[in-house]
């Protein structure tokens, strides 16, 4: 008799596709998507009270990117947490879980398929918003460059200075560094989805899963500062056990300050490929660890 493989990409793909369809049909998430798109579009329009006399073309573009990417970050994290937290309870309510587990489907495949389905929908949503932001930013950048060139020529600026100003404004427009920042937003959503998946495997309440995941998300933004303060307070006499303890805390609570390339991309700074690749590896590490822990808690669970 042929033994059923514990890991099958085709089975995971089928479950991921079903999860994607299941999430698309949940109208509650339409609100989040529409809200994120509205914030993205609203960032294009300049409000009278948001402008100061010292504003430059670069500042206007930075404000636009900051508002839009803030909406994208909020949407992706909230969606990743809420969607993942709802999946297992939804399958239990619809009795779909019993149907799936009664078939020769390993629970690891089930969990990975659910996680990939959520990530596929989050990634698709971010891609749509990315295209929208890039188009808006491109139009606004061209308009500001044209206005700046017209102003410079009327003031008699030399051609060399006009070229420098054009380059400075274009650096705040759509660039590959901006795409790296949006990639970092997706990485954070990946980690939060895997954390929510882990919590949902032992939690009996969707609200509990969402609340704990949100708390971990906020703790992750202060982990590095707290660890540095504690190690600095200990001075040179840091014990081996203290170092191990600090590393264990880093594993439980991901250090989201490492993903601050989002701020750098908003400011138009260059982001090296090595930094982006290190974040990718770190994200896969965290996602893998939390997925394996989810499997350990879910594989013997009785329904």
Is pLDDT at 34 greater than 80 in this prediction?
no
Q: Provide the 10 A C-beta neighbour count for residue 195.
A: 27
Is pLDDT at 190 greater than 90 in this prediction?
yes
Longest dimension (CA), the chain: 85
pLDDT score, position 144: 87
| Separation of CA 106 from chain center | 28
Residue of 263 and 228 predicted with greater confidence: 263
pLDDT score, position 233: 65
pTM of the model: 0.85
pLDDT score, position 53: 47
Q: Indicate if the alpha-carbon torsion angle 210, 28, 14, 300 is positive or negative.
A: positive
Rank 98-102, 115-119, 130-134, 155-159 by mean pLDDT and report only the highest.
115-119
pLDDT score, position 278: 92
What does the buried/exposed string (b/e) look like for 154-189 if buried means 16 or more CB atoms within 10 Å of the residue's CB? eeebeeeebeebeeebbbbbbbebbebbbbbbbbbb
| Distance separating alpha carbons of residues 221 and 217, to the nearest angstrom | 7
Closest CA to 187 of 109, 254, 110: 254
- In degrees rounded to 5, what are phi and psi of residue 178? -65, -40
Q: pLDDT tens-digit profile of 62-121?
A: 888 888 888 888 888 988 998 888 888 888 887 877 887 777 778 888 899 999 999 998
């Amino acid at each position: 008799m042929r033994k059923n493989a514990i890991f099958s990409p085709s089975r995971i793909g089928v479950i991921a596709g079903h999860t994607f369809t299941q999430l698309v049909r949940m109208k509650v998430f339409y609100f989040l998507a529409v809200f994120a798109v509205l914030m993205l579009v609203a960032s294009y329009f300049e409000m009278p009270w948001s402008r100061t006399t010292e504003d430059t073309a670069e500042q206007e573009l930075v404000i636009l990117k900051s508002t839009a990417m803030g909406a994208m970050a909020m949407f992706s994290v909230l969606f990743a947490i809420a969607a993942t937290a709802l999946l297992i309870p939804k399958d239990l309510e619809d009795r779909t879980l019993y149907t799936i587990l009664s078939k020769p489907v390993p629970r690891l495949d089930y969990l990975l398929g659910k996680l990939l389905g959520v990530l596929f929908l989050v990634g698709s949503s971010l891609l749509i918003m990315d295209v929208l932001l890039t188009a808006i930013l491109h139009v606004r950048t061209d308009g500001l460059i044209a206005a700046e060139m017209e102003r410079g020529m009327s003031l008699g600026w030399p051609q060399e200075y006009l070229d420098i100003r054009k380059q400075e404004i274009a650096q705040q427009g759509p660039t590959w560094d901006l795409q790296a920042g949006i990639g970092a937003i997706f990485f954070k959503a990946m980690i939060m989805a895997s954390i929510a998946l882990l919590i949902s495997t032992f939690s009996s309440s969707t609200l509990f899963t969402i609340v704990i995941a949100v708390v971990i998300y906020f703790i992750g933004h202060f982990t590095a500062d707290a660890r540095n303060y504690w190690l600095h307070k200990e001075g040179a006499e840091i014990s081996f056990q203290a170092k191990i303890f600090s590393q264990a805390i880093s594993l439980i609570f991901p250090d989201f300050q490492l993903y601050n390339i989002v701020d750098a991309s908003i400011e138009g700074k260059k982001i090296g490929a090595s930094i982006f690749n290190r974040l990718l590896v770190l994200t896969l590490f965290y996602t893998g660890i939390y997925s394996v822990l989810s499997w350990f808690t879910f594989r013997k669970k009785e329904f």
